[in-house]
Amino acid sequence: MPKIIKNGQIIDDDWQILKLDGEQTAASLAWPDGNIMVPMTAWLERKAEILSRSKRPGVWLDSHEDVEAIAGDLEHFVVIGLNFPKFTDGRAYSTARLLRERYAYRGEIRAIGDVLQDQLFYMKRCGIDAFALREGKDIEAALSGLRVFSETYQAAVDQPQPLFRRRTA
Amino acid sequence: MLSSAQLRKLAEISRRYDRSVGHFTTRQNMQLNWPKFEETPEILGELASVEMHAVQTSGNCIRNITTDQFAGIAPDELTDPRPYCEVLRQWSTFHPEFAFLPRKFKIAVNAAREDRAVIRAHDVGLEIVNNDAGEIGVRVFVGGGLGRTPVIGKVIREFLPRKHLLSYLDAVLRVYNRYGRRDNMYKARIKILVNALGVEEFTRQVEAEWSHLKDGATTLTDAEFERVARHFTAPEYEHLPQDDFSYAAHLKEDKAFASWAKRCAHAHKVPGYAAVTLSLKAPGFAPGDISDLQMEVIADLADRFSFGELRVTHEQNVVLSDIRKRDLHEIWKISRANGLATPNIGLLTDMICCPGGDLCALANARSVPIAEAIQSKFDDLDYLYDIGDISLNISGCMNSCGHHHVANIGVLGVDKNGEEWYQITVGGQQGNATAIGKVIGPSFYADEVPLVIAALITVYTEQRTPSERFIDTLQRIGIEPFKQRAYAGRDKRKPARADASENLTEVVNA
């Protein structure tokens, strides 16, 4: 079974990420059994159908997709995947913070796509708590990417007070 | 700002790991051009031993914050901008959300009446100002930048109270991070987004975002600002009269010293003190280059005369900021003996110049030989003084590291079918009246460049009124007379065309 990092641990993962590859459209997508993460467009078009399945859904957003579109639906999702098409595409860092800080989403936020050890610290700080590493990467070694620095300057999801407020406290 | 110990360490590093030379850049950083890749961990270790680093010096992140080289000592400053820079440094260092922006992001701060930090040519420029109620805050410029598409920054907020500085910048960066273009790296800087949306719409989006962030935990506290500001205390100045007798006597007796002092000594807000610019624009040397021995000499000068501190300017010179006037003559003698006293600050040969094609993989053309050719064409100091204040900057490619767009005379290296050509612009300016220069026409061969510069200067010296600088004359009489003189007698040669057929290959640095 594939493995991911979640809350700092390596765990088995059975979520299937449904993609709109090639001919596939949101309308033509079929639902396999088990846990599925659907593309945001599919969710927006086929909400009722997805909710009628026996398992609660996950959804995933590509880096250019605005989280505002699903802001009213968050209670339905067990997991929200944020895709990093390339590690240099940093839009999902903002998306993750918006989910946690503006929309108070408490479920799992999972980084998917070009997810690498060097980015995990930033991702964690922005509220991403699960990491599906890029295929072929050493997941054990990647764990240390969550602990690069012992202290941070800025307020973020993992530490809502900036260092300067904690210093004076 | 550097301490003497840091500069000595840079000298040592340049000797051990490089060719005993460093290059100061317009980012007020030092660049080493020949370190071995496998030795970089050791170099970083050495840097860390004196509290230096190379964090966020490349990549699409927030780069180092820059400001006025005379910060804290300038008579025309409202307040010391350095605590603002340090607050911003902490906020931007490993900022979790903005490490992978569409492109690099540069922020500069100015607190003086005259902007010496080129804030209008930065992604974000911050001008520290008072509002009508006397409160302190910043005027926020966004979307300035040079490169392929030079743009002057636009004001998106006239007055932002200091406490909101960081949360407001979070909002600016978030809008940019989410909506800046990522499909084309040449159109990915924030200036392109601001232009595409229009400044009103961009501002509206920032304000909308900020409405959620305002007054959050990132709101800067007075206690924190003051804590940071306490790291930038004034040194133990002596109580001195404004004028120094021995300095006045030396000025009278020694013409060479007086010439140097006129160009290289600057007003200081403390009576009896001056700041000094040590020129790294000596004839025959690449602008901004400094040898290991010169670094050590400057470190010694700083220890002896300037409280052990020095600054690097974006014009690629070094400043000793706190010099007693009575010490100026001694400093001049020592710096002159070490090639650091070329009395050309603000003159034609005080050029900003990128490393160019000799060293940079991105460059279309060499820039240093052009700088040297101009230096040797204009080697008569009296003539340079006669020409007076002027800026001449050289970039080896359209990435514009040499800031040619904002120079009175700009030189840009272009590649045409494998040949190096040079495009000339005039009328650019930095400072409060920042302006982008205009191309005068088809580009030139390398060996023509000094002659073209000479032709432009001649138009000025013929047409000027007694009080006019080059830029003033240009603005009064327009570009046409300069254009005509630059191309006079050149029409027989097959002209190069400055049009789309030029292979303006742009490579974007990491």
User: In 10 A of CB B492, how many CB atoms?
Assistant: 6
A93 interface with B at CB cutoff 8 Å? yes
Residue B493 lies in a domain: no
Q: A116 touching B, CB under 8 A?
A: no
What would the pLDDT profile of B145-183 be if each residue is shown by its tens digit? 999 899 999 999 999 999 999 999 999 999 999 999 999
B100, closest residue in chain A (CA to CA): A90
What's the pLDDT score for residue B497?
Answer: 47
Shared domain check, B260 and B183 = no
Reported for B48-54, long-range contacts at CB under 8 A and 24+ positions apart, including other chains, are B49/B9, B50/B3, B50/B5, B50/B6, B50/B9, B51/B6, B52/B6, B52/B9, B52/B10
Q: Name the percent of chain A lying above pLDDT 90.
A: 95
Q: Tens digit of pLDDT for each residue in B461-474?
A: 999 999 999 999 99
For residue B503, being part of any structural domain is answered with no
A156 contacts B216? CB cut-off 8 A: no
CATH of the domain at B434: 3.30.413.10
Residues of A in contact with B172 (CB under 8 A): none
Q: Do B186 and B255 lie in a common domain?
A: no
Q: Are residues B151 and B201 in the same domain?
A: yes
A154 closest CB neighbour out of B95, B178, B227: B95
- Cα dist. B81→A145, B72, B138, B140, B321 in Å? 35, 7, 11, 14, 15
Closest Cα of chain B to A34: distance in Å?
A: 33
Last residue of a domain, one of B274, B303, B337: B337
Burial of B443 (0-12, 13-18, 19+ CB in 10 A): buried
Q: Which ipTM was obtained for this model?
A: 0.97
Is A94 an 8 Å CB contact of chain B?
yes
Kindly provide the b/e burial profile for residues B10-30, where b requires at least 16 CB atoms within 10 angstroms of the residue's own CB.
bbebbbebbeebbbbbbbbeb
Judge: B224–A164 Cβ closer than 8 Å, yes or no: yes
Chain A CA closest to residue B212: A102
Contacts of A156 in chain B (CB under 8 A): 96-97
pLDDT tens digits, residue range B215-235?
999 999 999 999 999 999 999
Query: Looking at the partner chain, which of A89, A163, A168 has a beta carbon nearest the beta carbon of B182?
Result: A89
Task: Give the pLDDT confidence of B311-348 residue by residue, as tens digits.
Answer: 999 999 999 999 999 999 999 999 999 999 999 999 99
Contact criterion met (CB < 8 Å) for A93 and B216: no
Residue B288 lies in a domain: yes
Contact (CB<8Å) B96/A156: yes
Q: Measured between CB atoms, does A100 come within 8 Å of chain B?
A: no
Do B410 and B428 reside in the same domain of the chain? yes
DSSP string, B214-243: TTSTTSPPHHHHHHHHGGG---------SS
| Mean pLDDT of the region B385-407 | 95
Residues of B with CB under 8 A from a CB of A: 60, 90-91, 93-101, 174, 177-178, 182, 212, 216-218, 220-221, 223-224, 227
- How far, CA to CA in Å, does B352 sit from each of A91, B268, B390? 36, 24, 12
Average pLDDT, chain B: 94
Nearest to B218 among A87, A91, A162 (CB): A162
Helix (H) or strand (E) holding B245: helix B245-253
Contact A125 B178 (CB under 8 A): no
Chain A CB contacts of B93 under 8 Å are: 153
Q: Indicate the range of B58-62, B258-262, B292-296, B357-361 predicted with least confidence.
A: B357-361
- Positions of chain A with pLDDT under 50: none
Is residue B266 assigned to a domain?
Answer: yes
| CA gap B107, A77 in Å, rounded | 39
Same domain for B93 and B125, yes or no, is yes
Predicted confidence band of residue B498 (pLDDT cuts 50, 70, 90): very low
Task: Judge if B306 and B447 occupy the same domain.
Answer: no
Mutation target vs A (from B100, B105, B162, B226; most A CBs, 10 A cutoff): B100
Please report the DSSP string for B114-137 in residue order: S--S-GGGSSEEEEEEE-TTS-EE
Residue B184 lies in a domain: yes
Contact A94 B174 (CB under 8 A): yes
- Residue B506: pLDDT band with limits 50, 70, 90: very low
Of A37-51, B343-357, B440-454, B478-492, which range is least confident? Answer: B478-492
The domain boundary, picked from B232, B262, B285, lies at B232
For chain A, percent of residues with pLDDT exceeding 70: 99
Whether residues B170 and B87 fall in one domain: yes
Asked if pLDDT for residue B499 goes beyond 50, the answer is no
Asked, for residue B346, whether it belongs to a domain, the answer is no
Same domain? For B224 and B83 the reply is: yes
The number of domains in chain B is 3
Specify whether B260 is located in the same domain as B301.
yes
Of B280, B312, B337, the position where a domain reaches its end is B337
Q: Quick one: angle between helices B470-477 and B449-463, nearest 10? A: 80
Which among A95, A125, A165 has CB closest to B217? Answer: A165
Is it the case that residue B213 has pLDDT exceeding 50? yes
Residue B35, domain CATH = 3.90.480.20
Co-location of B371 and B473 in the same domain: yes
Q: Are B303 and B409 within one domain?
A: no
What is residue A24's predicted lDDT score, i.e. its pLDDT? 87
Instruction: Identify whether residues B29 and B131 lie together within a single domain.
Output: no
Chain A contact set for B217 (CB, 8 A): 155, 160-162, 165
* Mean pLDDT confidence for B349-358: 92
Cβ under 8 Å to B: A residues 11-40: none
Query: Measured between beta carbons, which residues in chain B are less than 8 angstroms from residue A87?
Result: 100
Q: Domains along chain A?
A: 3-168 (3.20.20)
pLDDT tens-digit map of B104-142: 999 999 999 999 999 999 999 999 999 999 999 999 999
Distance from CA of B251 to the nearest CA of A (A): 50
Q: Which of residues 122-161 of A touch B (CB under 8 A)?
A: 122-123, 125-126, 149, 152-156, 160-161
pLDDT higher than threshold 70 for residue B491: no
Write the residue in A90, A160, A161 that is nearest to B99 by C-beta.
A90
For A105-114, how does the pLDDT look when each residue is reduced to its tens digit (9 = 90+)? 999 999 999 9
- Look up the domain containing B135 and give its range: 73-232
Closest by Cα among B433, B414, B422, B288 to B349: B288
Task: Give the pLDDT confidence of B235-293 residue by residue, as tens digits.
Answer: 999 999 999 999 999 999 999 999 999 999 999 999 999 999 999 999 989 999 999 99
